[in-house]
Structure 1
Amino acid sequence: MAHMSDEVPGDERATLLVFVDSQRRALRATVEGMTEEQAASRPTVSELSLSGLLKHVAEVELNWLRMAQQRPNPSRRAQEDWAGGFRLTEEESVPDVLAFWDGVVAETEAFIRSVPSLDDTFPLPPAPWFPQDAKVSMRWMLLHLVREFARHAGHADIIRESLDGTKAMG
């Protein structure tokens, strides 16, 4: 993983994309060298696994991208299947999830580079956790992704350390 001193891009848009990507890379690093079984295991009292966290963040990023693009997301998980977003099915594997996420990442980055301004807004859907008729900016979305990914990177660090003692920060 590169250090921030190696990645100073100079403008706000590129800086935010670097911070989002840094957290993505932290999450991805937690499955390096893991078997499918290890990545799916839950060594703590939590229901979280490394592979489940990867699936969740990939789906979350796609959901936010589609909201920002104001396009439908046919693969959006129904609220009653929320827990299914944290577990791989028998047909899914860590490489599958990482490949899916790679596609989402490429689309997110291309979209963010194409928007005229990070001040551009999009409406949030009706939900009990969003204010009614709220809009957020592209900047807000990127910062939200940093927060979401950082939270789950911390979870993933604990899970990985519980599995084999590997520590993200040495």
Structure 2
Amino acid sequence: MVQISTEVPGDERGTLLAFVESQRAAIRETLDGLDEERAASRPSASELSLSGLLKHVAECELGWLRMAQQRPNERLRDETSYGDSFRLVEGESIPSVLAFWDGVRKETEAFVAEVPSLDQTFPLPPAPWFPQDAQVSVRWMLLHLVEEFARHAGHADIVRETIDGTKAMG
């Protein structure tokens, strides 16, 4: 498991990154002690699995980072591959997805540290769920990642509890 420093800078960037990391950790912890098969199981009415949620949030963070950087997303999904963002495919494993997400985490933290201002904006792509020609700030992106990860951490808690009764936070 990735160890994050317990020292959190008190400035806004450090605080926002600490909240993002807290939600990342909540998702990672739901996988503790599970093998690949159990982590891929879908024990509830939902189509979600723990390993699929892990991959989804890692790719989600990369997508937001690439939008903020205004760079192409090397893992951009379309209609034909969207389902693969919620399941591990051949050659992928929990350790490989965790390593990928750790790389994205490092890149996000470096980007946030280097961006001149959290007020810096970037355009949202055309999508039915985004306002047309909208722009959001880096601050907004970090808060959105907290929201996105917290939502999926809740999903992961329910899935894990359904698998073996393990509950988040004890």
TM-score category (smaller protein): over 0.9
1:90-128: CA deviation from partner (whole Å, max 9, x where unpaired): 211100100000100000000001001100000111111
Which residue of 1 is the match for residue 24 of structure 2?
24
* Cα separation, 2, equivalents of 1:110 and 1:153: 24
- The answer for the alignment partner of 2:126 in structure 1 is 126
Identity between Structure 1 and Structure 2 (%): 74
Partner residue, 2:11: 11
Runs of 5+ consecutive residues of structure 2 not aligned to the other structure: 1-5
The answer for the alignment partner of 1:3 in structure 2 is none
Work out whether residues 7 and 18 of structure 1, in 8 Å CA contact, stay in contact via their aligned partners in 2: no
Q: 3-state SS of the aligned residue for 1:88?
A: coil
Q: For the residues of structure 1 that align with 2:14 and 2:49, how far apart are their CA atoms?
A: 31
Distance in 2 between residues matched to 1:31 and 1:126, nearest whole Å: 34
CA-CA distance at 1:8 after TM superposition: 5.4
Please tell me the residue identity of whatever aligns with 1:132.
Q
Q: CA deviation at 1:63?
A: 0.3
1:76 aligns with 2:98: no
Q: Which runs of 4+ in 1 moved over 6 A?
A: none
Distance (Å, rounded) in 2 between the aligned partners of 1:126 and 1:66: 15
TM-score by length of 1: 0.94
| Residue 156 of structure 2 is aligned to residue 152 of structure 1 | no
What amino acid is aligned across from residue 136 of structure 1 in structure 2? V
- Counterparts of 1:69-108 in structure 2, within 5 Å, are 69-108=69-108
Counterparts of 2:10 and 2:65, CA distance in 1: 24
Which one-letter code corresponds to 2:116 in the other structure?
P
- One-letter amino acid matched to 1:166: T
Distance in 2 between residues matched to 1:135 and 1:108, nearest whole Å: 19
Displacement of 1:56 in angstroms is 0.2
Give CA-to-partner distance per residue, 1:11-32, whole Å, 9 cap, x none: 1110000000000000000101
Unaligned runs of 5+ in 1: 1-5
Q: Which secondary structure does the structure 2 equivalent of 1:79 belong to? A: coil
- Cα distance between partner residues in 2 of 1:13 and 1:65: 15
User: C-alpha root-mean-square deviation of aligned residues, in Å?
Assistant: 1.1
The offset of 1:169, in angstroms, is 2.1
Take 1:8 and 1:60, find their aligned partners in 2: how far apart are those partners? 24
Give the corresponding residue for 2:115: 115
Paired with 1:80 and 1:126, the residues of 2 have a C-alpha distance of 18
Q: How many equivalent pairs are there?
A: 165
Distance 1:80 1:128 in 2: 18
Q: Distance in 2 between matches of 1:153 and 1:31?
A: 11
